[in-house]
Amino acid sequence: MIEERLVPVEEFPAQVRLLLSGTYVMIQLSAFFVRGIVAVVILIFSGSFGTFGIYLGTAVIIAYIGLPFWVVFVRARRPTQGWLRFEGTSLVVRSSDWVYVSPKTIEWKTPEAFVLRGSGTKYELSFRTAQEASQASMKIRTVDPLVQEVPLEAYR
C-alpha cells in the first residue's frame, strides 16, 4: 500500500473567464483543420447515397464542427463561478474543469480582478473583494516567487 503525503489545500472563490491567447487559438485551429478533413470524407461518403445523403452529411458536419467550435470559442469564454486552488506548490484554476497553471505574470485589471497569464493560457479571475484578490496574489507569489506582477497603474 502506497501512502501519499497530505498537502495543504487552500481555495479562493472567484469568477473565472478564459481569455484567448495566440497559442490557444493556433492549437484550436489546427484541431479544426483535422476536423475539416474528416468532414470532407464524411461528405464524400454520404454523397454516394444521393440527395438525402448529402443533407444528412451536411447536418452531421454542422454538428461535428459547430458544437466543438461553440464549446471552445463561446462557452469557454463566459465567466463562470470557480476557484483558485492551491495544492501545496501547485496552482489550479477550477471551474467546469481542473486546469493546472504555471503562472508567469499577474496583471491587475481592477483592485478585485487580475489576469493570470501562464504559458499558452490566460485566465481572468474576479474576486468578491480587493482583500481576497490581494491575498490570492500574495499566495501565488509565495508558491512561485518568479511570478511577476504588473500593477494596476500600468493599465491607466
Q: Is the pLDDT of residue 16 over 60?
A: yes
Domain map (residue ranges) of the chain: 9-21+78-155, 23-75
> For the CA atoms of the chain, what is the radius of gyration?
21
Q: Is the pLDDT of residue 155 over 60?
A: no
For domain 9-21+78-155, which architecture applies? Answer: Roll (2.30)
Q: Which are the contacts of 46, defined by CB distance < 8 A and separation ≥ 6?
A: 53, 54, 56, 57, 60
| Nearest one of 137, 91, 138 to 115, comparing CA atoms | 137
The tens digit of pLDDT for each residue in 97-135 reads: 778 888 899 999 999 999 998 887 888 999 999 999 999
